[in-house]
Amino acid sequence: MTKEEMISHMSENSGITKKQAATALDAFMEGVTSQLKEDTKVSFSGFGTFSVSHRKARTGRNPQTGAAIEIPATKVPVFKAGKRLKEAIRK
């Protein structure tokens, strides 16, 4: 599903215009992004939790040459599905 398809879905199911749905979706994504930048978890009961994982620096290998390369430490976004979401998908 693309962002445009999600906007249409939100509009149809909530009775709001596509412009309002687009504004709401943008606000949601901006809110989650800003909280993750601050290293804060964002949790929706039953749906899931967005959080930030910290990966340590490590040594890797270039698959073409076999040469050792240093992979720097980084932060990555993580989503862990909640119980109700997992159950809904299994059915």
For the chain, the structural domain boundaries read 1-38, 42-91
Cα-Cα-Cα-Cα torsion 55, 60, 63, 68, nearest 10 degrees, comes to 150
**How confident is residue 22, by pLDDT bands cut at 50, 70 and 90?**
very high
CA distances from 22 to 15, 19, 48 (A): 13, 5, 22
**How confident is residue 18, by pLDDT bands cut at 50, 70 and 90?**
very high
Query: Does 29 have pLDDT greater than 90?
Result: yes
pLDDT in tens, 37-84: 999 999 999 999 999 999 999 999 999 999 999 999 999 999 999 999
The CATH code belonging to domain 42-91 is 4.10.520.10
Give me the residues paired with residue 51 across strands: 78
What pLDDT score does 91 carry?
Answer: 81
CA distance 51 to 42: 7
Q: Where do we find the tokens 């901006």?
A: 30
Cα 52 to chain centroid distance, Å, stands at 10
